Amino acid sequence: MHLTIQKKDFLRSLARTHSVADRKSSMPILSNILLSTEGTKTLRFAATDLYLSVTSSTPVELKAGGTIAVAARTLFEIVRKLPEGEVSVQVVGNHSVEIRSGKVRFKIPGMPGQDFPSLPNPGNAEFATLDAEEVGRLCSLTHYSMSGDETRPHLAGALFEGDGKAVRMVTTDGHRLSKAEYKRGEGKKMLNFSMLVPGKGIAELRKLIEEAKAGREKSDDKSGPTIDIATAGGSAFFRNGDDVLSVKLVDEQFPPYSKVIPTTQTRKVNIGRARLTEALQRIALVASDKSGAVRFNVEPGTLRITSENPDVGEGTEELDVDYAGEPIEIGFNAKYVLDVLGALVEDEVRLELGGQLDPGVIKPVGTTDFVGVIMPMRI
């Protein structure tokens, strides 16, 4: 292999792929990026940890084709520090890679490209196109309530589904649940799919969406950025131009989330999102580090937030709210409430409450495309 490539193109594809390489794997090849030439003008980058795979392509001036696997982190850091302009990449003896830029020269060891594992392939799967901005919004509104416990794979990911009329994402860790969706416009192609995407896959999908948004901002195309999706062979494929993310889907049953979302809450409290956030942040300063418990006392016109911790102290704050129903006292984990409030952008939110032991619901006022459910605490 011998080629020249612009640093900016080299760095973009490396930035897109290097973080997926698994530096801690017992398989040394997985800590590498595979560089392989395609045709006469393209260099393809690929990285995988056997669960996630990312590929990216960029134009090059090709002098000799070939393939080589190179340490992902080392190559990324070298290219990041090179001067701007043209970079020469050449495979020399014993699978070493020589990188030149101006008067700068590096020579780093590589591995045979044929040792790199095969990546999932969508084959003839049909890709559907989604609004990248909307999918990114679904991720932002739900990612925080995924479980971090990878021994519970059915909770350590996001249910991503479409029913023909809407596309939605749902996550839960057993203590809280978030559901967000967007309606597809009239005349749009019907989409029916359901996939359980692991947490690392959602994180990489968010990066791909940011790339799509950034790329559209730099172009003359005034239409919104899009992302293509398909499923095949137990994997999901997400595509933005020449960049493709493949994710091995979780082969588990997601909980029946519709049964968890209350539909008959009798107490509905409207309040400014920023005011509630600031009050919770203050009162949470004296909450227990372990439980994060705060007490909500709701009365007509007033919400009082209280926390008591014998090791730290106590705090109380009263807020004026739009509420005229029966009084109730209920406990929540302050962080869970703050996570929901931090994901929303609307100015006003609604707390929907049932009894002391019933889940609480947080929604934006005036919209129906998001719901956050939080289980109460005994305090």
CB-neighbour burial class of residue 134 (10 A; exposed 0-12, middle 13-18, buried 19+): buried
Asked if 110 and 97 touch (Cβ cutoff 8 Å), the reply is yes
Could you read off the pLDDT tens digit of each residue along the chain, which spans 379 residues?
999 999 999 999 999 999 999 888 889 999 999 999 999 899 999 999 999 999 999 999 999 999 999 999 999 999 999 999 999 999 998 999 999 999 999 999 999 999 999 999 999 998 989 999 999 999 999 999 999 998 999 999 999 999 888 999 999 999 999 999 998 766 566 678 999 999 999 999 999 999 998 876 666 666 789 999 999 999 999 999 999 999 999 999 999 999 999 988 889 999 999 999 999 999 999 998 888 999 999 999 999 999 998 888 999 999 999 999 999 999 999 999 999 999 999 999 999 999 999 999 999 998 789 999 999 998 7
Same domain membership, residue 354 and residue 271: yes
Same domain membership, residue 101 and residue 132: no
Q: Where are the alpha helices (DSSP H) in 18-125?
A: 72-81
Asked if 269 and 353 touch (Cβ cutoff 8 Å), the reply is yes
Same domain membership, residue 246 and residue 132: yes
Same domain membership, residue 231 and residue 338: no
For residues 306 and 285, give the distance between their C-alpha atoms in angstroms, rounded to a whole number.
Answer: 11
Q: Structurally, how many domains does the chain consist of?
A: 3
58: phi then psi, degrees, rounded to nearest 5: -150, 150
Same domain membership, residue 247 and residue 137: yes
Same domain membership, residue 268 and residue 251: no
Which two tokens mark 202? 């959602």
AA identity, residue 35: L
At which residue do the structure tokens 């809450």 appear? 265
Please tell me the predicted confidence (pLDDT) of residue 164: 81
Domain contains 123:
no
For residues 190 and 346, give the distance between their C-alpha atoms in angstroms, rounded to a whole number.
Answer: 29
Same domain membership, residue 338 and residue 237: no
Please tell me the predicted confidence (pLDDT) of residue 336: 97
Domain contains 279:
yes
Same domain membership, residue 134 and residue 204: yes
Please tell me the predicted confidence (pLDDT) of residue 214: 84
Please tell me the predicted confidence (pLDDT) of residue 106: 98
342: phi then psi, degrees, rounded to nearest 5: -70, -25
User: Nearest-5° angle of CA 45, CA 64, CA 112?
Assistant: 55
Same domain membership, residue 159 and residue 64: no
CA atoms in the 13 A half-sphere facing the CB of 229 = 22
For residues 164 and 203, give the distance between their C-alpha atoms in angstroms, rounded to a whole number.
Answer: 25
For residues 168 and 123, give the distance between their C-alpha atoms in angstroms, rounded to a whole number.
Answer: 26
Domain contains 133:
yes
Asked if 271 and 280 touch (Cβ cutoff 8 Å), the reply is no
Residues spanned by the domain of 347: 261-374
Domain contains 379:
no
pTM of the model: 0.90
Sign of CA dihedral 113, 119, 123, 128: negative
Same domain membership, residue 226 and residue 167: yes
Please tell me the predicted confidence (pLDDT) of residue 27: 93
CATH of the domain at 64: 3.10.150.10
Last residue of a domain, one of 196, 228, 257: 257
